[in-house]
Amino acid sequence: MAFHAVRSSSFVVALKHWRDVRGYSPDRLAALVGCEPAYVHHLESGHAIPSHDLVVRVDEVLQAGGAVVESAVQWSGGIDTAPASSEEREAEVAGILVRHDHTFLEFDGETYRIRHSRRIVNTGSRSVSSYIVRISVDRYPGNPERSRSHHQRHPLEMAELGFAPTCNSRSITWDLIYDGAAYKEIRLHLADEVGGPLIGPGGEADLEFGYEISSEIWGKWLQRVVRSPTLVMAVTISFSVGLRMVMSGYQLTGTAAALPVSALECVRHRGSDIYTWSTLRADQDSVFRFEWRPDKAVADSDEYAVPLTARRTMLAAGIVQSDNMLLRERSTIFDLPTELERCREVLCLTSRALDRLARVHRFGKGQGIAAVQIGITRAAVLIRLDSGRDLFLVNPRIVEASVETDVQFEGCLSFFDVRGRVARPRSVKVEYQDLAGNREIRVFHDGAARMVAHEVDHLDGILYTDRMSERERLVPLSEYGGIGKDWSYPQGHR
């Protein structure tokens, strides 16, 4: 079965929308479905006829819930405006340098107000006459069927967005290239009133465009994709204090694993919780995603909200999950005191990670985290004792362990939806360094010994499941009765 080619179609809109939502470049999508990158470009320009098998593969890779397949079946005509030319699409990457890309999002509980500000440089030999921008919505991430049905009933309407782009503070015209219920692709005309180019070779310009979308249409997420070489990318997200939103951010990779973003800060100012983040010289096609939810003390009125599983809770809090091979890498030791500032930064980031986790889960056994679990493969561990005191172990190694062991359930932030019984020594002697590089030795007993051994294993790429007996099995949280409870140990000789 093949589909008839039409220059502008519902299929093209669906393909571009779901590729945009997932953050895949044409090259990445081509690699995942097994075709040439040029073919994806041909599909999106309406110049190629996809086979049924390819459409199904694309739908599966983009996790579109059948939306791409359905759009291909219904492929019958399109909108009046012509697609962007290949020259315009190439201009998105070739010849364009983005000095600064800053996205502002504000939410008052009813309406999202989004503004994009970009300083672009024409590094090519020809004037840049147009610039392509996109608006995508996905009301229920993780549930494409429900999102698709919802957006068919509540489509994204350009007339309601208040879209008004400017170039160097001058209003510019635009036209709609693709018009889907959940996806818009817009061509900005970078020309003055008489058609003269606004950005000649070597020229620079400030582009700004914004829009307003109701919470009924916009989901609880914001995604930024590095489409052109970008020196600085920044995000500022503001929520009314009364909403009590908790936000997290992570970078998506081509393997669908995710790494938490660093330097996500929050300040309270004039009745708003303001989150800020920025990165320098991110790789092209990098995808940065930010998600938010009311904290546990606030009821979420969204009856269709996808419940946070234990895994999603940890991922949202910035914890690297078990499908990421980073957890199997051996962490690099710090050269102290030469790397003092970097070490301080890593320890600060691990402490903030535990602060975030404490807001979403009550830890009855204390807390521990290794730097690799927030995406940093350096030899640092943080143990937060029952007293609330933080104990930082830099370049730790276990130099002695007791013969006496015991078997207890353990959990791991990187696969928090299960627990497993592991034999550990009841005491361990650990050598580590302070920030000045001095070596210290400390002995840990019982629960503290278990936590330290667990985290030091992470630095060697070892998970607790590697140490489980073949007779043991992983227990799902629904069967585990020890949440919020401390380990129990017999009194007497250790």
**What is the average pLDDT across 383-403?**
89
Given 88, 455, 470, 472, the catalytic residue: 455
Helix or strand or coil: residue 119? Answer: strand
430 has a pLDDT exceeding 60: yes
Class of domain 325-479 as given by CATH: alpha beta
**Is 472 part of the annotated catalytic residue set?**
no
Residues annotated within the binding site for Fe cation are 412, 454, 458
Confidence category of residue 9, pLDDT binned at 50, 70, 90: low
What architecture is domain 10-73?
Answer: Orthogonal Bundle (1.10)
- Chain-centroid distance of CA 362 in Å reads 24
Q: For position 441, what pLDDT does the model report?
A: 96
**What is the average pLDDT across 19-37?**
79
**What is the average pLDDT across 36-62?**
79
Question: For the whole model, what pTM was predicted?
Answer: 0.57
Higher pLDDT, 400 or 45: 400
Task: Determine phi and psi for 304, rounding to 5 degrees.
Answer: -100, 5
User: Other C-beta atoms within 10 Å of 49: how many?
Assistant: 14
Long-range contacts (CB closer than 8 Å, 24 or more residues apart) made by 281-285:
281/230, 281/231, 282/226, 282/230, 282/233, 283/226, 284/25, 284/93, 284/226, 284/227, 284/228, 284/229, 284/230, 285/25, 285/27, 285/28, 285/225, 285/226, 285/227
How do residues 116-141 score in pLDDT, each as one tens digit? 999 999 998 888 889 999 998 988 87
d(CA 91, CA 27): 16
Helix or strand or coil: residue 8? Answer: coil
Sign of the CA dihedral running 193, 197, 203, 206: positive
d(CA 123, CA 202): 5
Cis (ω within 30 of 0) for the bond into 165? no
Q: For position 74, what pLDDT does the model report?
A: 54
Mean pLDDT, the chain, as a whole number? Answer: 82
Residue-level length of the chain: 494
Q: For position 302, what pLDDT does the model report?
A: 52
The position carrying tokens 């519902």 is: 10
53-57, 126-130, 381-385, 439-443: range with highest mean pLDDT: 439-443
Q: Are 262 and 349 in contact (CB under 8 A)?
A: yes
Q: What is the CATH number of domain 86-307?
A: 2.60.40.1730
Higher pLDDT, 78 or 197: 197
Q: Are 443 and 417 in contact (CB under 8 A)?
A: no
Radius of gyration of the chain (CA): 26
Domain locations along the chain: 10-73, 86-307, 325-479
**What is the average pLDDT across 362-385?**
86
6 has a pLDDT exceeding 60: no
Q: For position 246, what pLDDT does the model report?
A: 84
Angle between helices 26-33 and 37-44 (to 10 degrees): 110
The DSSP-derived string for 445-484 is: EHHHHHHHHHHHHHHTT--GGGGS-TT---EEGGG---TT
The share of the chain scoring above pLDDT 70, in percent, equals 84
How do residues 221-245 score in pLDDT, each as one tens digit? 999 988 889 999 999 999 999 898 8
- Determine the residue type at 408: Q
Nearest to 30 by CA among 10, 48, 11, 54: 54
Q: For position 89, what pLDDT does the model report?
A: 46
Locate 243 and state its tokens: 């909403």
How do residues 277-331 score in pLDDT, each as one tens digit? 888 888 877 888 898 888 755 445 454 344 456 777 777 677 888 888 889 999 9
Higher pLDDT, 236 or 88: 236
